[in-house]
Each structure stands twice: as C-alpha cells, then as structure tokens.
C-alpha cells in the first residue's frame, strides 16, 4: 500500500510548497497563453523559484516529464537567454539556472520579444514605405502605414531607453507611472 501511494506521489510537492507548486503550474499556463510551451514555462518557473542550479534529470523528475522534453525545453530557454549552463564541482552533468531578479528576467524577456517580434515588423514597415509602389497606394493606406511605423519606431526607442536604465530608476518610473494614472483619473 505504501509503495502504491509512493508511485502516485507528486515529487514537486516534496521539493516546494503548495504555493510554489501553484506558481509553477500557473506560470506554465500563462506561458502557454503567451505562445510559449507549457513545459518550457514550468521549467523556467521551477528554476526561478528554487533559485539554484538543477540538472535535467532532477527537473524531469520534479515536473514528471520526459527527459527529452526537458532537453528541448532547456534549449528553448537558452535560445531566449533565460537559462544558462552551470558546472558544479564533482558533477559532470550540466546544471541550469536562471536569473533570480524579476527585473532582470523582465529585461531579458522584453529584449528578446522586441528582437523577435517588434524589430522585424519595423523592418517590414520601412520596406513597405520605401517601396516605389507605396506612393500608388490609397492615401489612407499610406497614412496608416506611416503612422504605424512612426508609433513602432517611437516605442522601440522608448523600450531601448527603458532597458538601459538601472533597476532602481526603472522601478521609480513604474511607480511614478501609477501615480500619474491616479492623478489623471481624478
């Protein structure tokens, strides 16, 4: 009877609290909603929450997923610059860790999403506006494309500036923005 219970036990429950488990599961769900594989997001959440290097077998065991799934997910996290390899003395296996600072994670995610999604769109808009056929487009189409390009270029510059700020300054700006919104709503 004890062995049967052990077979169905949740290894994650032994490693982290119920609150931590809820966070890992939720982060996986939110990642899926943002277009990121659920396991990729859960691995990232687990590494962030535990705050220590972990090897792939340990991750696979805790999340109860296939080792191959962990390997592919780790590779994806590395492609996003969210996970780095760490070597521990006396252990030949690769261990993985993520930043422990949520502000740093935010910066990495914003930088990567900007490079993958925003910057290519700006490039296409610039190409469209520079195309010799652009002037033959309807005036409203030309205006919308130019306005979209101008907005995206402005947001791109602003994002680059925000990414280069010190965390303390960025944190103050976020708090200030909330105060400004409260003032404007009065």
pLDDT digits (tens, 9 = 90+) for 15-73: 788 899 999 999 999 999 999 999 999 999 999 999 999 999 999 999 999 999 999 99
In the block, which residue shows the tokens 């590494």?
47
In the block, which residue shows the tokens 């780790």?
74
CA distance 5 to 20: 22
Please, which contacts does 145-148 make with residues 24 or more away whose CB atoms are closer than 8 Å? Answer: none
Residue 7 sits in the same domain as residue 93: yes
Q: 84-86 and 95-97 as β-strands: parallel, antiparallel, unpaired?
A: antiparallel
Residue 45 sits in the same domain as residue 107: no
Specify the pLDDT at position 7.
52
pTM: 0.82
Residue 51 sits in the same domain as residue 8: yes
Between these two residues, 185 and 163, which has the higher pLDDT value?
163
Of 97, 115, 139, the residue at which a domain comes to its end is 97
pLDDT digits (tens, 9 = 90+) for 117-155: 999 999 999 999 999 999 999 999 999 999 999 999 999
Predicted confidence band of residue 177 (pLDDT cuts 50, 70, 90): confident
Of 97, 119, 144, the residue at which a domain comes to its end is 97
**Spatial contact of 70 and 43, defined as CB atoms under 8 Å apart:** yes
Residue 82 sits in the same domain as residue 126: no
Specify the pLDDT at position 16.
82
Residue spans of alpha helices (H) in 38-166: 38-50, 56-63, 67-79, 102-113, 119-130, 139-163
pLDDT at 175 over 90: no
Tokens representing 184 are: 């404007």
CATH number at residue 77: 1.10.10.10
CA distance 132 to 145: 14
**Spatial contact of 125 and 148, defined as CB atoms under 8 Å apart:** yes
pLDDT digits (tens, 9 = 90+) for 68-127: 999 999 999 999 999 999 999 999 999 999 999 999 999 999 999 999 999 999 999 999
Domain count, the chain: 2
Residue-range definition of the domain harbouring residue 68: 2-97
Residue 12 sits in the same domain as residue 63: yes
Residue 53 sits in the same domain as residue 133: no
Specify the pLDDT at position 121.
98
Contacts of 71 (CB under 8 A, 6+ apart): 56
């Amino acid at each position: 009877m004890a062995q049967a219970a052990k077979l169905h036990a949740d290894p994650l429950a032994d490693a982290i609290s119920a609150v931590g488990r809820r966070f890992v599961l939720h982060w996986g769900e939110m990642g899926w909603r943002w277009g990121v594989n659920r396991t990729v997001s859960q691995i990232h959440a687990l590494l962030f929450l535990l705050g220590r290097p972990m090897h792939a077998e340990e991750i696979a065991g805790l999340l109860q997923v296939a080792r191959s799934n962990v390997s592919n997910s780790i590779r994806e996290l590395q492609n996003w610059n969210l996970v780095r390899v760490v070597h521990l003395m006396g252990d030949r296996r690769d261990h993985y860790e993520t930043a422990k600072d949520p502000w740093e994670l935010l910066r990495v995610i914003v930088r990567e999403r900007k490079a993958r999604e925003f910057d290519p769109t700006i490039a296409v808009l610039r190409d469209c506006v520079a195309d010799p056929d652009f002037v033959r487009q309807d005036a409203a189409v030309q205006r919308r494309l130019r306005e979209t390009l101008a907005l995206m270029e402005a947001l791109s510059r602003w994002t680059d500036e925000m990414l280069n700020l010190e965390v303390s300054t960025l944190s103050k700006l976020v708090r200030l923005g909330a105060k400004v919104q409260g003032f404007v709503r009065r």
